[in-house]
Chains A and B, each alone.
Chain A
Amino acid sequence: MKLNKRFRVTVENRGKIGGYLFTLPFVVGFILFFLYPFVQSIIFSLNKLSLTTEGYELEFVRFDNYYYSIFTNTEFNQAFVETITEMVIDLPLILAFSFFAAILLNQKFKGRALARVIFFLPVIYSAGVVLKMEQNDFVTQLMKESNINFMFSGEALQVLLKQTKFLPDAMITYVLKAVDNIPVIIRSSGIQILVFLAGLQSIPVSVYEAAEVEGASGWESFWLITLPMISPLILTNIVYTVVDKLTRADNELVLLIKDTAFTGRGYGVSTAMATMYFAAIAVILGIIFKVFSRYVFYRE
């Protein structure tokens, strides 16, 4: 009874007490199950770790593990560059596709509900262990290879395109790679479509009606209403896609980090790699925020 009374005191008090009370579980969990292991992992990266029956022993080796990952072990640099390149290639494609798909799914047509159910299916079947098994699957690999020959990167077309000299070579390679990647792009866009779709539906119809009365064409209202209104979500989706691409379990570098932990040079090197990788992700996200937040329009 007493407790109840205290909660009801004032509006400002309610804000403070409520805020701390509701977020307390997270703060406790963050310190115990995230921050502590996180700091420990950085400490491990400066040590050589060996397991004993009563726990583990650490031997301080300074930055040896870092030197080793960068200079001695060539796999890390290679996997790093490949992972980042792949992310840079896929990011614009995923964004463009999910935006386009959301606009498509937002229109009124027969069978819309069914189309939506299908479009979000990859979220269900393309995750975790199933995704991992697919990566290693013999037939999937085979299909991928035959697809590459079958689809547009067929050599004849490539040569033909390059001979026409309309576009720079790098661009042609990018486009061809993009075309080959279509199934992957479509299957990893589920959540992004969801976010865009929700955003499109939150734009009040009255804004479009007002524009129409003023004589704006559909094209104009897309560029002047839809795009600015949805720009915060473009940023959200960029961040989600970058994080998802860089931390998902079938990512080459993540696999390398995991394999290194249990074989070869052991856990110290693995954490050193992970720490550097995390720092790189943080820098990339920082740059993205810096560049894109200038273009984002907030309604409030």
Chain B
Amino acid sequence: MKRAIVLDFVKDNVLVREKIKKWLISIIRAVLLIGISYIILLPLITKFSNSFMSVRDLYDQTVKWIPRNITTEHYRLVWKHMKYPVTFFNTFLLTTVVSLLQLFSCTVIGYGLARFDFRGKNLIFALVILTLIVPPQMILIPLYLNFRFFDLYGLLPGTGFNLIGTYWPFILTSITGNGLKNGLFIYIMRQFFKGMPRELEEAGYIDGAGLFRAFFSIMLPGAIPGLVIIFLFSFVWQWNDYIFITLFMGGGAFLPQALELVANNVIIEITGGAAPTEMQGDQYTSLLNNTGMILVIAPLLILYAFMQRYFIESVERSGIVG
């Protein structure tokens, strides 16, 4: 009789301990997650609240997060000086073209490296990795010169065409999988296709599908999660890129360039060219920059919000494995 009670007590004790352990773990986890999320979201929140502050609030020590005098004046000024509708449209068009082309080319190349056995496969894969580890700055100027005097390396007559200021440098590098960070995309797609069962295509071939049919109607639909990742990355990086866009397009017709100049232009308008007063100093510059950054990032955040469901799902299924 006594023994049964002791046993019961031990059992209860174990149960209680298990419960406490579970509780502890989830509390610790929640604290960690909230802490990390805070650090990640902090710059976004700061920028956002900053962009609605009046200049008075900016220099008021008691105002930290919530602006006392909300104003949309900065947005009006920044919008105007970035020529937002025009630069947005330009950037959107170029980025969409580039990321669709890269999506296509990197998928095709990744599939080629994942599924076929042929001589030189490992060499080509090594070259893909090579394009990833060379700093883009190293080939910037030869690349510029080649597109400035584009004669297909002597194949075309004359001094060649000037492709600078057109979409061509972007189109040509994207369609061949040599654009910005494309090595990474090819790598991801290769891993992705490697994770898909070979039987899928085999069955297709037996049923009489050709190479392209097997790729487009059997493999591609199964690889949609991977495609989502590639498209999102490619879009984000192209949207934010200022190195290649400055090199190939010049001028200021795109968002990254407009963003870099906007604070300066706004201050010039306000002061009329005179030296900025203290109220228009560094903090004000930073406020204008923050407002501009919100305008640049906002479309990306909206895109991410739409795609995040597929994106998170694709993480589950992607199998980006060594």
Q: Are A130 and B131 in contact (CB under 8 A)?
A: no
B135 CB → nearest A CB, Å? 4
Given contacts A104-B32, A278-B138, contact A32 B289 (CB under 8 A): no
Instruction: Please report the C-alpha to C-alpha distance between residue A137 and residue B132 in the assembled complex, in whole angstroms.
Output: 29
Q: Does A258 contact B (CB under 8 A)?
A: yes
Q: Does B44 contact A (CB under 8 A)?
A: yes
Q: Does A63 contact B (CB under 8 A)?
A: no
Q: Does A150 contact B (CB under 8 A)?
A: no
Task: Specify which chain B residues have a CB less than 8 angstroms from the CB of A121 in the assembled complex.
Answer: 40-41, 44, 304
Q: Does B103 contact A (CB under 8 A)?
A: no
Residue among A44, A118, A125, A296 making CB contact with B297, cutoff 8 Å = A125
Q: Are B186 and A26 in contact (CB under 8 A)?
A: yes
Task: List residues of B (252-307) whose CB comes within 8 Å of A's CBs.
Answer: 255-256, 259-260, 282-283, 285-286, 289-290, 292-293, 296-297, 300-301, 304
Task: Specify which chain B residues have a CB less than 8 angstroms from the CB of A267 in the assembled complex.
Answer: 141
Instruction: Please report the C-alpha to C-alpha distance between residue A20 and residue B117 in the assembled complex, in whole angstroms.
Output: 10
Given contacts A34-B178, A38-B139, A118-B40, contact A4 B210 (CB under 8 A): yes
Stretch from B1-9, B77-85, B106-114 forming part of the interface with A: B106-114
Q: Are B177 and A29 in contact (CB under 8 A)?
A: yes
Q: Are B116 and A19 in contact (CB under 8 A)?
A: yes
Residue among B36, B237, B297 making CB contact with A186, cutoff 8 Å = B36
A142 CB → nearest B CB, Å? 9
Q: Are B211 and A257 in contact (CB under 8 A)?
A: no
Q: Are A41 and B139 in contact (CB under 8 A)?
A: yes
Q: Are A21 and B260 in contact (CB under 8 A)?
A: no
Task: Specify which chain A residues have a CB less than 8 angstroms from the CB of B32 in the assembled complex.
Answer: 104
Task: Specify which chain B residues have a CB less than 8 angstroms from the CB of A4 in the assembled complex.
Answer: 210
Q: Are A23 and B113 in contact (CB under 8 A)?
A: yes
Given contacts A4-B210, A33-B176, A138-B282, contact A38 B108 (CB under 8 A): no
**C-beta contact mask, A21-54 vs B, less than 8 Å → 1, else 0?**
1110111111011101110110010000000001
Q: Are A127 and B177 in contact (CB under 8 A)?
A: no
Instruction: Please report the C-alpha to C-alpha distance between residue A116 and residue B312 in the assembled complex, in whole angstroms.
Output: 7
Task: Specify which chain B residues have a CB less than 8 angstroms from the CB of A296 in the assembled complex.
Answer: 322
Q: Are A137 and B108 in contact (CB under 8 A)?
A: no
Q: Are B131 and A124 in contact (CB under 8 A)?
A: no
Residue among B36, B173, B211 making CB contact with A101, cutoff 8 Å = B36
Q: Does B311 contact A (CB under 8 A)?
A: yes
B145 CB → nearest A CB, Å? 6
Task: Specify which chain B residues have a CB less than 8 angstroms from the CB of A298 in the assembled complex.
Answer: 322
Instruction: Please report the C-alpha to C-alpha distance between residue A232 and residue B187 in the assembled complex, in whole angstroms.
Output: 14
**B47 closest partner in A (C-beta):** A125
Instruction: Please report the C-alpha to C-alpha distance between residue A255 and residue B217 in the assembled complex, in whole angstroms.
Output: 45
Instruction: Please report the C-alpha to C-alpha distance between residue A274 and residue B177 in the assembled complex, in whole angstroms.
Output: 23
Stretch from B10-18, B68-76, B313-321 forming part of the interface with A: B313-321
Task: List residues of A (37-94) whose CB comes within 8 Å of B's CBs.
Answer: 37-38, 40-41, 44, 54-56
Q: Does A153 contact B (CB under 8 A)?
A: no
Instruction: Please report the C-alpha to C-alpha distance between residue A229 and residue B215 in the assembled complex, in whole angstroms.
Output: 30
B186 CB → nearest A CB, Å? 7
Task: Specify which chain A residues have a CB less than 8 angstroms from the CB of B96 in the assembled complex.
Answer: none
Instruction: Please report the C-alpha to C-alpha distance between residue A258 and residue B138 in the assembled complex, in whole angstroms.
Output: 9
**A274 closest partner in B (C-beta):** B138
Instruction: Please report the C-alpha to C-alpha distance between residue A274 and residue B141 in the assembled complex, in whole angstroms.
Output: 12
Q: Are A26 and B40 in contact (CB under 8 A)?
A: no
Q: Are A30 and B178 in contact (CB under 8 A)?
A: yes
Task: Specify which chain A residues have a CB less than 8 angstroms from the CB of B173 in the assembled complex.
Answer: 29, 33
B140 CB → nearest A CB, Å? 7
B2 CB → nearest A CB, Å? 31
Q: Which of A4, A27, A182 has most chain B Cβ within 10 Å? A: A27
Task: List residues of A (111-149) whose CB comes within 8 Å of B's CBs.
Answer: 111, 113, 115-125, 127-134, 137-140
Residue among A30, A40, A128, A246 making CB contact with B135, cutoff 8 Å = A246
Q: Are B322 and A18 in contact (CB under 8 A)?
A: no
Instruction: Please report the C-alpha to C-alpha distance between residue A132 and residue B241 in the assembled complex, in whole angstroms.
Output: 10
Task: List residues of A (229-275) whose CB comes within 8 Å of B's CBs.
Answer: 231-233, 235-236, 240, 243, 246-247, 249, 254, 257-258, 261, 267, 270-271, 274-275
Instruction: Please report the C-alpha to C-alpha distance between residue A107 and residue B28 in the assembled complex, in whole angstroms.
Output: 13
Task: Specify which chain B residues have a CB less than 8 angstroms from the CB of A182 in the assembled complex.
Answer: 39
Residues of B within 8 A of A (CB): 26, 29, 32-33, 36-37, 39-44, 50, 105, 108-109, 111-113, 115-119, 121, 124, 127-128, 130-143, 145-146, 149, 152-153, 159, 172-173, 175-178, 184, 186, 195, 205, 210-211, 215, 229, 233, 236-237, 239-243, 255-256, 259-260, 282-283, 285-286, 289-290, 292-293, 296-297, 300-301, 304, 308, 311-312, 315-316, 318-322
Q: A25-B176, A199-B321, A261-B140 are in contact. List 18 more A-B contacts (CB 8 A).
A: A7-B210, A14-B205, A18-B115, A23-B121, A32-B153, A34-B131, A40-B145, A41-B138, A41-B141, A44-B141, A55-B159, A133-B289, A138-B285, A139-B286, A199-B320, A270-B141, A285-B133, A296-B322
The 8 closest A-B pairs by CB, nearest first: A29-B176, A232-B322, A22-B112, A128-B240, A19-B116, A19-B118, A37-B142, A129-B256
